[in-house]
Amino acid sequence: MKQWNTTITAWLIFLPLIFLIPSAYAAEDTKERVEQVHAVLTLDTAIALAEQSNPGLAQRQAQAEAMSALPSQLGSLPDPMISMGLVNLPTDSLNTSQEAMTQWQLGISQEIPFPGKLALKQQAATERANASALMTTEYKQQLIQYVTSYWWQLFYLEKTLAIISTNKTLLKQFIDIAETKYRVGHGLQQDVLLAQLELSKLLNREIELNSEREQVVIRLNTLLSRPTNTAIQLPAFQHIDTTLPEIKPVDEVLDIAEQNRPFLLQQKHLIAAASEDKALAEKDLLPDFKISAAYGVRQGHNLDGSDRSDMLSLQVGINVPLFADRKQKMAISQKNSELKQQQFAYQDSWNQVQSEIANYITQYQQARQQYSLLDTGILPQARQTIASMLSGYQVNKVDFLNLVRAQITLYDYETQLWLSVKTAKTALANLEASVGKDTFYE
């Protein structure tokens, strides 16, 4: 009876643990699934990570914030100067009440630029602060462009590696078929050797692509400010948008770019800043002012016995541009040349943007047409040809060399299909960065 009670007690202790075991495995499995979900790097996630953690972008944001603090500084009056001293002290006695002009003096002075100068300085600084903010936006768009390009490059490499894996399986099947036919006297040894050679070529190509994939992962992780050896897993193919939409004509895209490209807008702000600098240089021909006041406290008595009165001093000073031909007028000429420099720089930048946009649109349209041709025409025909030739080879109606060549051709077409997707998506990313906005789709 005692043994029976001991057994029941043991079961009562361990039975809850038995029920907890599946829960523990389920929890661990759930944790692994969550980690796998978080390990998947979508394009949107990659862009968000880059925006949050890229140090280059953070640096430019800090620079823009620093520039935004300048306008109010440059638009303010210079700090007033307060002075205190002892004036007209006789050196023979150092007595402050001996001479009538000896006084303790407290003064204040204020420099006042000619009206309009401070406003011009502030406006020029505001234009440069706006330009700095736009350069931050420009850098951000370039960063997104690089992240997108590397992401689609990684997509292309993984699709190509998957195609290679499939072709390796098929070539191994070809080798088995060729060896079987050779053993029964219906095939040639050179067929086996040829298939093995093509398989070796695929293995070599797989090594090259894996190395290239590692390099792309390193570059992408660097942009995301992560350890370079961080593993990257892309979403399942069905969750990746590979559609290639229509885009607007070149002229309409150029109009959008002229109004939205941060780099061009930044150039316009620099032109405005240079114009304000030129206007300020012209105003430097006009004088600045300096106003000062001082209150002097005197000690001692007058001859009639009365206390000496305190003294008040007021002054107004102006600077005189005596060397205007060599100084102020040369500064005007300098600022005028700097304004022309910014104007020419804008025109040069606009020409480059137009060239970039036209080039990216051409790349996109070509890749889009290639994708459509491969997806709807060439690949279905090539797959049908392979299936027919494989059946014919098994009954000795098709030469093995032609079968292998057809399979290699199919492999090339399949890789070209995903290369066209990568090229088109990269061209779209480049186009969006060049335009400054993604409103160029039909």
pLDDT tens digits, one per residue of 146-181? 999 999 999 999 999 999 998 888 878 777 777 777
Query: Residue 220 in contact with residue 147, Cβ under 8 Å?
Result: yes
pLDDT tens digits, one per residue of 285-327? 999 999 999 999 998 888 877 888 989 999 999 998 888 889 9
Higher pLDDT, 219 or 183: 219
Residue 137: CB atoms within 10 A of its CB come to 18
Mean pLDDT across the stretch 383-408?
A: 78
Instruction: Specify the DSSP element, H or E, that contains 86.
Output: strand 81-87
Q: Which residue has the tokens 């040349």?
A: 337
Mean pLDDT across the stretch 371-382?
A: 91
Contacts of 286 (CB under 8 A, 6+ apart): 114
Residue 154 CA to residue 167 CA, distance in Å, equals 20
Mean pLDDT across the stretch 6-32?
A: 39
Q: What CATH topology corresponds to 40-75+115-285+322-435?
A: Outer membrane efflux proteins (OEP) (1.20.1600)
Residue 341 is predicted with a pLDDT of: 96
Residue 75 is predicted with a pLDDT of: 93
Q: Where are the domains of the chain?
A: 1-39, 40-75+115-285+322-435, 78-112+287-320
179 closest CA partner among 163, 167, 191, 170 = 191
Among 201-210, 343-352, 402-411, which range has the highest average pLDDT? Answer: 343-352
Mean pLDDT across the stretch 190-211?
A: 85
Mean pLDDT across the stretch 334-358?
A: 96
pLDDT band at 187 (very low <50, low <70, confident <90, very high): low
SS3 440: coil
Query: Residue 313 in contact with residue 293, Cβ under 8 Å?
Result: yes
Q: Given a cut of 50, is residue 340 above it in pLDDT? A: yes
Mean pLDDT across the stretch 199-223?
A: 93
User: What length does the chain have?
Assistant: 442
pLDDT band at 186 (very low <50, low <70, confident <90, very high): low
pLDDT band at 19 (very low <50, low <70, confident <90, very high): very low
Q: Given a cut of 50, is residue 3 above it in pLDDT? A: no
The chain-wide mean pLDDT, for the chain, equals: 86
Edge-to-edge strand ranges of the sheet holding 289-297: 81-87, 103-112, 289-297, 311-318
Mean pLDDT across the stretch 87-112?
A: 89
pLDDT tens digits, one per residue of 118-136? 999 999 999 999 999 999 9
Q: Given a cut of 80, is residue 442 above it in pLDDT? A: no
Q: What is the dihedral of CA 87, 92, 98, 99, to 10 degrees?
A: -50
Residue 393 is predicted with a pLDDT of: 66
Mean pLDDT across the stretch 330-355?
A: 95
